[in-house]
Structure 1
Amino acid sequence: MSLIASLPDIDKRPESVFVMHERSEKYIPNHKHTKGQLSYVEGGIAYLDIGNQRYVIPARHYFWIPTGLSHVLKIGHSGTVLRSLFFYTHDDNTSPFYSQMGIYPINDLLMQMIKYSEPWDGHILPGDNRFLFLSAIKNILPEISSKKIPFALPFTEHERMLPILRYLEKNIGDTHSLESISHRFGMSERSLSRLFQQTLNMSFLQYLKLLRMVRSIELMLQTNLSLSEIAYTVGYQSLASFSSTFLKLTNYRPSDFKKEK
């Protein structure tokens, strides 16, 4: 059964852990659970839309979504396997981790534990030895989940911003400035600057940097381009400048993502 088809069943047994491993649909519309969700993205890349933020989940990363948080899930590659465990919430007050959305690099221990559950499906209930194993996964999450990916790309449905954002995404490798974009879209620099702050809560240059970082992660995971080629593709004239910006914004070196492809 697919994740979309399973959505009504996940919360039917509050005391259980609901297990699902699948080659996921490309788009799972806005939904929420009364259970906490742990999902490991195996291969490819995935995206989470929460409110007006778009989070990028690279391969070999997992995410935690707390109870009751509405989200949209998009899969960027048809071969991506989404391994998901939906947990009971009666002990969520034991750690702040369980109440916070986060994306984290997976370690070998957690990856092997999640993969071990691959033959299982649906509700695993207390009293089952498999439940004890799954509970151990939940219990170690606060301890091992310390290196959170620290940024998200904001988005908006504002009608004046949509064509601007589409243009930047399509022409990401070009040289852009507040002056050039304001001229192209027939507004003053001050008006464009204010529009970015009002709709995205950040400056034009901040958004452009984030957009380039998101696009670079996609290229690292989905192509065979070298880091120098990726830097140039997303608008940087040198690998050093690109690497420095990437490290400042993500706390990772670009090679950390490239080697995990």
Structure 2
Amino acid sequence: MHLLADYLNEIDVHPDSVYVMHEKVERKFSMHSHIKGQLTYVEGGIAFCNMPDKSYVIPARHYIWIPKQQEHYMQIRHSKSTTTRNLYFYSQDDHLTPFYNKLGIYPVNDLLLEMINYSARWERHVLPGDPGFRFLSSIKDILPDISTSALPVALPTTQHERLRPVLQYIAQSFDQQLTLESVSSQFDLSPRTLSRLFTNILDMSFVQYLQTLRVVRGIEMILQTNQTLSEIAYQTGYSSIAAFSKVFYQLTNKRPSSFQQDVH
């Protein structure tokens, strides 16, 4: 635990540096924040970035930009082969470009991938004037220009005592034919009451939450199994690939077949 605290504290020791960390350490931190902006690239598998109120899914061949002072912790599920590459950038000039002040998940093109991989030759702090600083700074500089299409898959979370067990039930049963009525009856609630809980606490409807959860699980299956899209559609609660594809496109602006090609 002391070693983790040392890692976490060191990131912000030099506010004007770029801090490079490719070890599997970021995923071990509990909820925390930095005074630096953070780029985390997911290499293989899938990662989750958990905020106090939402959980963001980060597929392979995507990166997440986490603005300064944003509380978060990273989570890797299932796959030991999943690695992340982390770059922490000085934030003194972030107010000049709106991109750096907004959390987002973006696909990584070939140019950015080569640059991120090349950054592996540095470790820890790279200060202005050090070899490599201008190169690392150029990674930050190009992000607003090449990252124009964010992946909007965020799953709300809550500690609300009445809604939390409902979400746990849905997470365990998402492959079944769930309805507002069937779920509310499991918890001795009226459909109207449950609907209000979703709207007031999570700021989305029951159906929107269920669709988002199913797409997140579908992304996990695309990345971590060899199942066909038809099998994935069925295992996420849809009776046809067409129905799954429609919802997937609504949330990600991509068809699952196109997404599958991009990440493999």
TM-score range, shorter chain: over 0.9
Task: Provide the secondary structure at the position in 2 that maps to 1:30.
Answer: coil
Q: Kindly indicate whether the alpha-carbon contact (under 8 Å) linking 2:26 and 2:74 is maintained by their aligned counterparts in 1.
A: no
Distance apart, 1:161 and its partner CA: 1.6
- The equivalences for 1:210-225 within 5 A come to 210-225=212-227
Picking from 113, 116, 131, the partner of 1:114 is: 116
Greater CA deviation, 3-12 or 93-102?
A: 3-12
Task: Provide the secondary structure at the position in 1 that maps to 2:171.
Answer: helix
Distance apart, 1:27 and its partner CA: 4.2
Match of 1:208 in 2: 210
Match of 2:55 in 1: 54
Evaluate the alpha carbon distance shift between residue 140 and residue 3 of structure 1 in structure 2; reply closer, same or farther with a 3 A threshold: farther
- The equivalences for 1:1-261 within 5 A come to 5-24=6-25, 26-76=27-77, 77-259=79-261, 260-261=263-264
CA RMSD of aligned residues (A): 1.7
Q: Provide structure 1 residue ranges, at least 5 long, that are not aligned to the other structure.
A: none
Distance apart, 1:4 and its partner CA: 5.9
Distance apart, 1:91 and its partner CA: 2.0
Task: Provide the secondary structure at the position in 1 that maps to 2:160.
Answer: coil
Q: Distance in 1 between matches of 2:71 and 2:27?
A: 18
Distance apart, 1:227 and its partner CA: 0.4
Figure out how many residues of one structure are paired with residues of the other and give that number. 261
- Taking every aligned residue pair, what percent have the same amino acid on both sides? 53
Task: Provide the secondary structure at the position in 1 that maps to 2:125.
Answer: strand
Amino acid at match of 2:133: F
Q: Kindly indicate whether the alpha-carbon contact (under 8 Å) linking 2:54 and 2:155 is maintained by their aligned counterparts in 1.
A: yes
Amino acid at match of 2:196: R
Distance apart, 1:26 and its partner CA: 4.8
TM-score, structure 2 length as denominator?
0.94
Evaluate the alpha carbon distance shift between residue 166 and residue 206 of structure 1 in structure 2; reply closer, same or farther with a 3 A threshold: same
Amino acid at match of 2:253: N
Q: Distance in 2 between matches of 1:167 and 1:82?
A: 30
Q: Distance in 2 between matches of 1:46 and 1:4?
A: 22
Amino acid at match of 1:227: L
Distance apart, 1:257 and its partner CA: 2.9
Distance apart, 1:120 and its partner CA: 1.2
Alpha-carbon displacement from aligned partner over 1:171-201 (angstroms, at most 9, x marks no partner): 1111011111111211111111111112211
Task: Provide the secondary structure at the position in 1 that maps to 2:30.
Answer: strand
